[in-house]
Structure 1
Amino acid sequence: MKKVIVLAIMVCLSSFELSAQIKTEKIENKMNKEVPKISDFPTGEENTGFAKYFTGKSYLAPLTSNKDLNVPLANVTFEPGCRNYWHSHTGGQLLIVVGGEGLYQERGKSAKHLKAGDVLEIAPNVEHWHGATANSWFSHLATNGNPSTNENKWLEAVTDEEYKNANDQIFKL
């Protein structure tokens, strides 16, 4: 009888321990999926409208709405490892980094490490990509030059090898 009671207690304790472990893992998974606050600007919603031009998840928060001003401005947030495809803008682009750490690369040039406060003035028709580093969330404000005539030209995805090389170059891995 004592053996049965001891065995029952052991089973109960094992079940309790397993239940606690599963609960902890669920909480950790939920926490890992939440977007951290990395700037004072809103994160917005998942960027499903442009998801086909990104590797990984990004979030988009439009910040201006007055079309008469002709200055569209949005906060774009990238999860770690997320980057957009190679692309260009006929009117150029302006990026203002507001949080986390990111990467920017023009075709044929070395990658640049981006941190809050950096400002990128990208000339018209320059093929480039930008996104988060492998280990950090990243957020920038974005607007396009000549927005009434600007056109984005989306190109191929940044390969995993190109992305790894950019991270390795920045962090000397």
Structure 2
Amino acid sequence: MDTTKATTMKVVHNSRAGVPSVPGKTMGVFTGDVWLDQVIRQDNMSVVNVNFTPCSRTNWHRHEGGQLLRVTAGSGWICEKGDQPQRIAVGDVIWCPPGSHHWHGADDGSYMVHEAVTLGKIDWYEQVTDEEYAAKK
């Protein structure tokens, strides 16, 4: 058995004391009030908890290596370009394959929190219009 340690384990403790959330407005890629809490960022992977206020959402975007979303609170929507928006809620897990051009965000009357595991770089595009957001109804 080879006991050579090839990598170093990283532990992220369940404490963010003194670490402020980042307002999404500073990034220019969200509509509405969104807050981001970085969990870990390493190599070509990041894990972020994203808190969406009602009606807030991402711009259209895609991920080089794909993205895994896990809804942990509230409800919202996700939409791939050319498709109808789909409702998502607590416990749902969504896989956006590499290159999937999509948006996600909170429902009209609900906050939504999801954990986002992103692989590779993100390409950001235009805002989701109010008409595109309203198509979910």
2:36 is aligned with 1:60: yes
The Cα offsets for residues 113-144 of structure 1, whole Å up to 9 and x where unpaired, read as 11111001110001000000111101000011
- Equivalent residue for 1:29? none
- Distance of 1:165 and 1:93 partners within structure 2: 23
Equivalent-residue separation in structure 2 for 1:45 and 1:86 (angstroms): 20
Normalised to the residue count of structure 2, the TM-score between the two structures is: 0.80
Give the gaps of 5 or more residues in structure 1. Answer: 1-40, 169-173
Verify: 1:113 aligned to 2:87, yes or no. Answer: yes
Greater gyration radius: 1
| Relative contact order higher in (CA < 8 Å, ≥ 6 apart) | 2
Match of 2:21 among 40, 44, 47: 44
1:129 paired to 2:99: no
- Asked if 1:158 corresponds to 2:128, the answer is yes
Q: Is the 8 Å Cα contact of residues 32 and 57 (structure 2) preserved in structure 1?
A: yes
Among candidates 34, 51, 59, match of residue 77 of structure 1:
51
Which runs of 4 or more aligned residues in structure 1 lie more than 4 Å from their structure 2 counterparts after TM superposition?
none
Q: TM-score of the superposition, structure 1-length normalised? A: 0.64
Count of matched residue pairs: 121
Unaligned runs of 5+ in 2: 1-14
Q: Percent sequence identity over matched residues? A: 37
CA RMSD of the aligned region, Å?
A: 2.2
Q: How far 1:48 sits from its partner (Å)? A: 3.8
Deviations 1:135-171 (A, max 9, x none): 11010000112xxxx12111111110110111x1xxx
Structure ranking higher in helix proportion: 1
Partner SS for 2:50: strand
